[in-house]
Amino acid sequence: MIFDRGDKVTIRQEDGNPSAQAVFRIGVILVLAVVIFVIVRQMMIPASFGQYGRYRGNSISENASLNAAYAGSSNDCGECHQQEFMALAQAQHREIDCQSCHGPAAKHVSKPAVTSPIVQETAELCNSCHRQIAGRQDGKIVTVRPLLHSGGVNCTRCHNPHRPQLSFEGDKS
């Protein structure tokens, strides 16, 4: 606004003490802000937060209660699959868990009739451990070149996966 000499200017003035009113208004706003802050904070923070540390305590149980897809170990299988279990225990594959080849079987253990584990007869299964690749030296595991060894046909044609060494018994049995 530009005023010139001789202009008439009108100034309005509030009744009462203006500063007190302004202070009152700001006070009300601040109190409201505090109340809203407290309510919102109460709503945002989960009940179990801080129970064990700076996190939601219930999250531990949520993580820990997920279902296991893999059963604990081969011992869970031995009871029902005694033949395979005994064969494996005596052969070169003894250190391998059943589920290493048969996949997750926790559901199968509790309900054998409902779900069956994978039975993978392919050369792919044996090759994942036995194929000769860079980094997999003979000192760690006996390796083969599938094409040279068997023409790449299914290894289970000649080897029993639970008792793989042929000279052991002369034949797949």
Of 40, 90, 112, 136, the residue at the interface with other proteins (CB under 8 A) is 136
Q: Nearer to other proteins by C-beta: 3 or 167?
A: 3
Q: How far apart are the first and last CA of the chain?
A: 106
As measured in angstroms, the least distance from the Cβ of 173 to ligand HEC is 11
Task: Build a one-symbol-per-residue string for 65-84: x at contacts with ligand HEC by CB under 6 A, - elsewhere.
Answer: ------x--x-xx-xxx--x
Q: Nearer to other proteins by C-beta: 9 or 114?
A: 9
Alpha-carbon distances, residue 167 vs 84, 106, 108, 149 (angstroms): 19, 34, 33, 16
Range in contact with other proteins (rule: CB under 8 A) among 83-91, 100-108, 150-158, 161-169: 100-108
Residue numbers 37-96 binding other proteins by CB under 8 A: 37-38, 41-42, 45-70, 72-73, 93, 95-96
Residue 117 contact among ligand HEC, other proteins, none, beta carbon within 5 to 8 Å by kind: ligand HEC
Which 3-state string (H, E, C) describes 49-72? ECCCCCCECHHHHHHHCCCCCCCC
φ/ψ of residue 93, rounded to 5: -90, 15
Of 43, 113, 114, 133, the residue at the interface with other proteins (CB under 8 A) is 133
Total interface residues for ligand HEC by CB under 6 A: 53
What is the Rg, in whole angstroms, of the alpha carbon atoms belonging to the chain?
A: 38
Alpha-carbon distances, residue 75 vs 98, 118, 169 (angstroms): 9, 18, 25
